[in-house]
Amino acid sequence: MDDNTLSTENNLTTKEAIRKDIRNALINKGVNRFPNLDLAEEIFAPSDNLAYDFVTSFRAAGGKFVPCLKDQFAEYLVKLLRSRNYTQVLNTKPQFSSLLKANSIPAIEALENSKPADAAIVFSDNLVLNPCGIVFAQRNSLYPSVLGLASEIIIVAQADNIVPDLKSVFKHQMSHNKGELYDISEIISPTPPTIRDGHINPTPSNPLFILMLVK
């Protein structure tokens, strides 16, 4: 018997062994380790108070929270900026320019030579409870990301725009934009800034997020 014949017989024997194993597996089915899953079921438990639960998660992630009513927003924004002693604030919202100028806040509307500012004022389209996230749209900024703009990011957001999950973000955008999604550029989950010598040491790549939640 030559070598080719032996090789062919070995291949047949191996194939028969595989077929036998498959037949045995089909005949002797074990318990299904993966029960049928309800893919339509919500992953997270519903929230009875989206604003409270979001702020709790936001603070736990290292963020700072400043509540304010709509008619108090300008006063609270100026007070916050003065209390932080910023030397340069990047303002990405043109409608705030006159307010900042009138109150002698050292604001700029674009970064100089891509050098980060002390703080940046940005607007968030949505705040997401699960997982805790901040939604930003490209239409509100000249920059592709809020990361790298400043060591402290002041987020202006509406309490009515807090949603329970990412699926709700798209539903909210569709309902408010005549069936079309805005160009969402990023969703950021805040993380605690670095602690150095017992003090918070935020950086442009890992900034401190300060949320001004307007009701």
How many angstroms separate the CA atoms of 80 and 64, rounded?
11
pLDDT tens readout for residues 18-69: 777 666 666 665 555 545 645 455 666 788 899 999 999 999 999 999 999 9
Tokens of 110: 């674009």
Task: Say how many residues make up the chain.
Answer: 215
168 half-sphere exposure, CB direction, 13 A CA radius? 18
Q: Amino acid identity, residue 159?
A: A
Q: What is the mean pLDDT of residues 142-160?
A: 93
Residue 82: predicted pLDDT = 97
pLDDT, mean over the chain: 84
Does 94 sit behind a cis peptide bond, omega within 30 degrees of 0 on the bond before it?
Answer: no
Tokens of 83: 């209390």
Q: Which pTM was predicted?
A: 0.77
Residue 197: predicted pLDDT = 83
How many angstroms separate the CA atoms of 204 and 149, rounded?
6
Fold of domain 50-214: Rossmann fold (3.40.50)
How many angstroms separate the CA atoms of 158 and 73, rounded?
11
Neighbours of 92 (CB within 10 A): 19
Residue ranges per structural domain of the chain: 50-214
